[in-house]
């Protein structure tokens, strides 16, 4: 049976929680709560999703024992700042891992070969993934909806491969168990809920986007390395330079042209040149 609980920081901040053993989709549940007039500040967490979904309409496979969770918030922020909440979630997820994994498992900053793919540490991959040893261990999905009174509500869905990773994907994936860390979904969730409060406070209703992006860049995978971005069947290749003040990926192609990417599937290092 699921035994989800908010951490002390999240409880003190007034967040609420609905926990499940199994659910179709925590994001769908959060969107339904939005339509019903929920005031926001509520987490939905489950040990198993039967109809999870990821970015760009893909399914998100959820093995029982993994963490599927979604947060419904109604922030008082400008619409153009809302998309940067994915970076807030990434910073929070990495902070959570740093607190529940052994010292040294999460290393901040980029050095040597680690710049290529985040290998040997937990790193953040643009736009909304978390890597461990170069493989995806967590994914983030943002969805927007209108409240009954016309405000912008954001649902932040986060999946964490706690006990198992999906197979047959076009990219490597791993789990905490595969990495040698025996943790429960409930433990990961409690750490995440507390870390979210801290990261969201830094975001300051969109006024602190630059601070969040600075934190995110400091733990980013692939900066300074070859990158390939696939958009609607077209692949752009170059060197990943940075993430700009709006959260867009900035790269330089072989001719030195600066390319700004707002969305796409990203591959780093050797896979950047191997994929078409």
Residue 168's pLDDT is 78
Residue 51's pLDDT is 74
Contact by Cβ (8 Å): 142, 131: no
Residue 105's pLDDT is 66
Please give the helix or strand (H or E) that residue 196 lies within, else none. Answer: helix 185-203
Span 166-187, mean pLDDT?
Answer: 91
Residue 228's pLDDT is 92
Q: What percent of the chain has pLDDT over 70?
A: 87
Please give the helix or strand (H or E) that residue 146 lies within, else none. Answer: strand 135-146
Residue 58's pLDDT is 56
**Dist CA 95 CA 76 (whole Å):** 24
Task: Tell me the pLDDT tens digit for each residue of 227-276.
Answer: 999 887 889 999 999 999 999 999 999 888 999 999 888 887 645 544 43
Query: What are all long-range contacts of 164-169, with beta carbons under 8 Å and residues at least 24 apart?
Result: 164/63, 164/65, 164/66, 165/135, 165/136, 165/137, 166/61, 166/63, 169/136
Q: Which one, of 183, 220, 186, lies nearest residue 100 by Cα?
A: 183
Residue keyed to tokens 């975001």:
203
| 168 vs 166, residue with greater confidence | 166
For the entire predicted model, the pTM comes to 0.89
pLDDT band at 59 (very low <50, low <70, confident <90, very high): low
Q: What is the mean pLDDT of the chain?
A: 88
Residue 112's pLDDT is 37
Task: Return the number of other C-beta atoms located less than 10 Å from residue 174's C-beta.
Answer: 17
Dmax (CA) for the chain in angstroms is 57
Residue 54's pLDDT is 55
Residue 169's pLDDT is 78
C-alpha dist (Å) from residue 162 to 22, 29, 97: 15, 22, 11
| 202 vs 232, residue with greater confidence | 202
Span 88-114, mean pLDDT?
Answer: 75
Q: Is residue 24 pLDDT above 70, yes or no? A: yes
């Amino acid at each position: 049976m699921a035994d989800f609980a908010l951490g002390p920081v999240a409880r003190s901040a007034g967040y609420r929680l609905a926990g499940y053993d199994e659910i179709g989709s925590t994001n769908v549940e959060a969107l339904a709560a939005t339509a019903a007039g929920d005031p926001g500040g509520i987490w939905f967490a489950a040990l198993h999703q039967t109809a999870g979904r990821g970015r760009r309409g893909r399914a998100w496979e959820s093995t029982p024992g993994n963490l599927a969770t979604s947060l419904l918030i109604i922030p008082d922020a400008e619409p153009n700042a809302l998309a940067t909440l994915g970076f807030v979630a990434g910073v929070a997820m990495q902070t959570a891992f740093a607190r529940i994994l052994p010292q040294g498992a999460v290393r901040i900053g980029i050095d040597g070969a680690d710049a290529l793919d985040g290998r040997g540490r937990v790193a953040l991959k643009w736009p909304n993934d978390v890597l461990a040893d170069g493989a995806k261990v967590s994914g983030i999905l943002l969805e927007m909806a209108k409240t009954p009174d016309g405000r912008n509500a954001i649902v932040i869905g986060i999946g964490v491969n706690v006990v198992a990773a999906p197979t047959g994907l076009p990219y490597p994936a791993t789990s905490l168990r595969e990495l040698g860390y025996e943790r429960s979904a409930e433990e990961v969730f409690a750490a995440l809920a507390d870390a979210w409060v801290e990261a969201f406070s830094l975001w300051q209703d969109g006024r602190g986007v630059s601070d969040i992006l600075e934190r995110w860049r400091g733990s980013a995978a692939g900066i300074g390395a070859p990158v390939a971005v696939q958009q609607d069947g077209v692949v752009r290749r170059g060197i990943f330079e940075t993430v700009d003040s709006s959260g867009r990926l900035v790269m330089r192609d072989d001719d030195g042209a600066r390319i700004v990417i707002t969305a796409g599937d990203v591959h780093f290092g050797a896979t950047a040149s191997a994929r078409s």
